[in-house]
Amino acid sequence: MNRIKIGYSPCPNDTYIFYALVHGKLTYEPFVSEVLADIETLNNMAMSNELDVAKVSFHAFAHLRENYCLLHAGGALGRGCGPLVISKKETEINSLQNLCVAIPGKMTTAALLLRLYDSNIEDIVVLPFDKIIEAVYRGDVDAGLIIHESRFTYQQYGLKSVLDLGEWWEDTTGHAIPLGGILIRRELGTDHIKEFDSALRASVEFAHSNFQQVRDYVCSHAQEIDDSVIQAHIDLYVNKFTLDYGSEGEAAITDLLMRAENADLIPASTHSIFVS
């Protein structure tokens, strides 16, 4: 294994997680090269088999299980961190079927959750995640499904949250909300996969202990430059599950995939989530 091509987003939680691994701060031998892109681009790159390791949505993972498995470290899963549907005015959530809703990509977990919440929402427009707030503010769309830093800034535009899909998921299932995970090619083999998983966990631990080293890299790629927004993003999306999903996280992921399969929103699969 001479080279590992890694794809992850420029969002603060991902750059925080991967900093040590891609900057040679760990005793990890294979050479790594990184590609930073928004989550929907990463979803599509993984679909095209362009990456050895990729941060993708769990929605995309559902379509990638034949070639990729999930790593235990590095994922985005937690409570109080789900996607929000926002609008200019107070909107009854049962009226979303009559609105034009912008989503941040068809393969995002946000889009999957919206379909699980209400499969009859049909007037959907796909926009880059960082353009949705402005589209709602201008009135180009009636509502927007927001993720990442956007959940910390939408109120600055006078917009309102009309549906918290994370809260809905937690109330419905009792699980934490699975958003995205780090995938790795199954063909790399169990030993290499476990080695990379350990290195990724060590990269998270390095960031926890050396934030001042990591900070400039995180800030240089963040969509929002306000320090408080960047810190709030990390605090929300980097948590105990980022080091290891554990049984609690695995149960949440399994339930999401099962519900989506039962709703015919994703293909069924007999492949294990993790390497055996």
d(CA 6, CA 189): 17
Burial of 131 (C-beta count, 10 Å sphere; 0-12/13-18/19+)? middle
Give the per-residue SS3 of 4-67.
EEEEECCCHHHHHHHHHHHCCCCCCCCEEEEEECCHHHHHHHHHCCCCCEEEEEHHHHCCCCCC
Pairing, β 3-8 against β 53-57: parallel
Q: Around 207, how many Cα atoms within 13 Å sit in the side-chain half-sphere?
A: 30
d(CA 20, CA 44): 26
Catalytic site residue 148? yes
Pairing, β 84-87 against β 143-146: antiparallel
Choosing from 148, 192, 233, 271, the catalytic residue is 148
d(CA 137, CA 155): 11
What are residue 33's DSSP bridge partners?
5
Burial of 84 (C-beta count, 10 Å sphere; 0-12/13-18/19+)? buried
In the numeric block, which tokens belong to residue 71? 């790593």
State the catalytic residues: 148
